Structure formats: structure tokens, C-alpha cells
């Protein structure tokens, strides 16, 4: 039986869960929602996710929200032996560290900069761009450290999570390809290792890139 996945199709945490589910072969029944003019989700959604955050899932009556919690659930139930979530204690701890750093800091902070530009339809100012580089890009490049895989010698769910959030800004001109060459290299090689990336993300990224070009 497919898992019901409640989501906003363009929200990055939702895209991450879709990519992970496809990668480990979990069938999901998409329950797409949209925000109203006040930025609110349907009123009855609070019965599923009290904080009105997406995504949320319903696995035959078991309801869970928060993307990192859903990530762990899917891996532990459907792919317990997958190298995406290493059994080695120290490698697993490093994967956990990245997952929680992304969900608690990187995703909300990076999204706030990009969303600001999208809402006002203007590119980041020089001051904002400098802050974005110092707050998001440099720490992220240090985290990756020029490695092919962020943990160990193979693809893990940490890589899928990172490439998911990086897709929100690396393709845009807010990231200098020369200054942050390691980020670009990591992003391009990792997205190529996630077969579902193009399916779940390209329809979002291509229009966003074209729209960004129209900003002042």
C-alpha cells in the first residue's frame, strides 16, 4: 500500500522526501496542497501536522510530520540495510549531523535569502549577497570540504539532502562559480547520482532560473 504524502510540490523539504522515496523504491500517493493568499494551508491539515509544516505522511494510519523524521522512518522501515544510512556508528552520526544542520539552519536561512528576492522580484543587494556567502555558502563549502561524498566513500542520504537544498540556490547567479567551485562540482556530480532529481526538480528549477533573470 502506498504512503500518503502531504506536500507543497515546490517546497524543498517535500522534494527531498520525494527523491528519497523514489531512490529506495517506496511508492507514495501524493496529496498536493497550496497556500492561500495569506500563506496558509487548508484548515483541516492542522489535524495531520499541528504546526502546519510540510511534508507530512500517513502510512496506513501512522501519521508523521517533519522531513527529517520522515526520512528516518522511510529508511528504517523500507531500506534498513541501505548504504544510504550507514550502519557504522561514526558514519551514521556524521550523516545525522548533516541532516539536522540542514533542517535546523541551512534550509531556513538559505531559503529566507532566496525567498526575499523572489517576493520583491529583485536580486540580492551587494550587502545581502555578502551576508549570504558568509552565512550559507562558505560554511557549506567547508562542510563538503572538496570531497566527492560528504560522508564516507559512497552516496548517503546526507548527499541527497544537501543536493536538494543546494538546488535552491547553486543554479542561480547568487553563487560565484569560481569562488565556490567546490560547491558547483559537488552539486553537479551529486545530482547526476540521484536518478529522480530531474523528474522531481527540473520543472521547478528551469522556470525559477528564467524568472530570476528578469529581476533588477
Chain segment 94-109, per-residue pLDDT in tens = 999 999 999 999 999 9
6 and 55 Cβ atoms separated by less than 8 Å? yes
- Domain-wise residue ranges, the chain: 3-78, 89-213
Specify the pLDDT at position 214: 94
Specify the pLDDT at position 37: 82
Architecture of the CATH domain 3-78: 3-Layer(aba) Sandwich (3.40)
With 80 as the cut, is the pLDDT of residue 200 above it? yes
Where does the pLDDT of residue 189 fall: very low under 50, low under 70, confident under 90, or very high at 90 and above? very high
DSSP secondary structure code for residue 7 in this structure: E
**Residue 171 φ/ψ, nearest 5 degrees:** -70, -10
Overall average pLDDT of the 67-78 stretch:
98
**Domain 89-213, what fold?**
Glutathione S-transferase Yfyf (Class Pi); Chain A, domain 2 (1.20.1050)
Average pLDDT, the chain: 95
Question: Distance between CA 132 and CA 173 in Å, rounded?
Answer: 12
Overall average pLDDT of the 122-130 stretch:
95
pLDDT tens profile 112-125: 999 999 989 999 99
Per-residue cell: 160: 541527497
pLDDT cut 70: percent of the chain above it: 100
pLDDT cut 90: percent of the chain above it: 95
Q: How far is CA 64 from CA 29, 55, 115, in A?
A: 15, 9, 27
Specify the pLDDT at position 216: 87
Specify the pLDDT at position 117: 92
Specify the pLDDT at position 90: 98
Per-residue cell: 29: 500517493
Q: What predicted TM-score, i.e. pTM, was given to this entire model?
A: 0.95
**Coil, helix or strand for 125?**
coil
Specify the pLDDT at position 31: 98
**Coil, helix or strand for 153?**
coil
Where does the pLDDT of residue 144 fall: very low under 50, low under 70, confident under 90, or very high at 90 and above? very high
Question: Distance between CA 3 and CA 21 in Å, rounded?
Answer: 10
Q: How far is CA 60 from CA 14, 17, 92, 98, 196, in A?
A: 19, 18, 28, 30, 25
Overall average pLDDT of the 45-49 stretch:
95
Q: How many Cα atoms within 13 Å fall on the side-chain side of residue 95?
A: 25
Same fold: 3-78 with 89-213: no
176 C-beta neighbours (distance < 10 Å), count: 13
Burial (0-12, 13-18, 19+ Cβ within 10 Å), 101: middle
5 and 30 Cβ atoms separated by less than 8 Å? yes
Looking up cell 545530482, which residue turns up?
A: 191
Where does the pLDDT of residue 39 fall: very low under 50, low under 70, confident under 90, or very high at 90 and above? confident
With 80 as the cut, is the pLDDT of residue 1 above it? no
Specify the pLDDT at position 61: 97
Overall average pLDDT of the 152-179 stretch:
96
Where does the pLDDT of residue 38 fall: very low under 50, low under 70, confident under 90, or very high at 90 and above? confident
Amino acid at each position: 500500500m502506498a504512503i500518503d504524502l502531504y506536500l507543497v510540490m515546490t517546497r524543498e523539504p517535500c522534494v527531498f522526501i520525494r527523491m528519497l522515496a523514489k531512490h529506495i523504491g517506496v511508492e507514495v500517493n501524493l496529496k498536493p496542497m497550496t497556500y492561500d493568499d495569506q500563506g496558509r494551508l487548508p484548515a483541516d491539515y492542522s489535524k495531520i501536522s499541528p504546526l502546519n509544516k510540510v511534508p507530512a505522511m500517513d502510512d496506513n494510519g501512522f501519521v508523521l510530520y517533519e522531513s527529517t523524521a520522515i526520512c528516518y522512518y522511510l529508511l528504517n522501515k523500507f531500506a534498513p540495510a541501505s548504504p544510504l544510512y550507514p550502519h557504522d556508528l561514526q558514519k551514521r552520526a556524521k550523516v545525522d549531523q548533516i541532516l539536522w544542520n540542514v533542517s535546523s539552519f541551512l534550509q531556513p536561512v538559505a531559503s529566507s535569502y532566496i525567498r526575499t528576492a523572489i517576493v520583491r522580484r529583485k536580486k540580492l543587494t551587494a550587502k545581502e549577497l555578502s551576508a549570504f556567502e558568509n552565512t550559507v555558502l562558505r560554511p557549506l563549502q567547508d562542510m563538503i570540504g572538496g570531497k566527492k561524498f560528504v560522508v564516507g566513500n559512497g552516496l548517503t542520504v546526507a548527499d541527497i539532502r544537501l543536493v536538494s537544498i543546494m538546488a535552491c540556490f547553486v543554479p542561480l547567479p547568487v553563487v560565484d562559480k569560481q569562488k565556490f567551485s567546490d560547491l558547483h562540482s559537488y552539486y553537479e556530480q551529486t545530482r547526476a547520482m540521484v536518478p529522480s532529481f530531474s523528474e522531481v526538480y527540473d520543472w521547478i528549477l528551469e522556470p525559477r532560473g528564467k524568472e530570476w533573470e528578469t529581476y533588477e
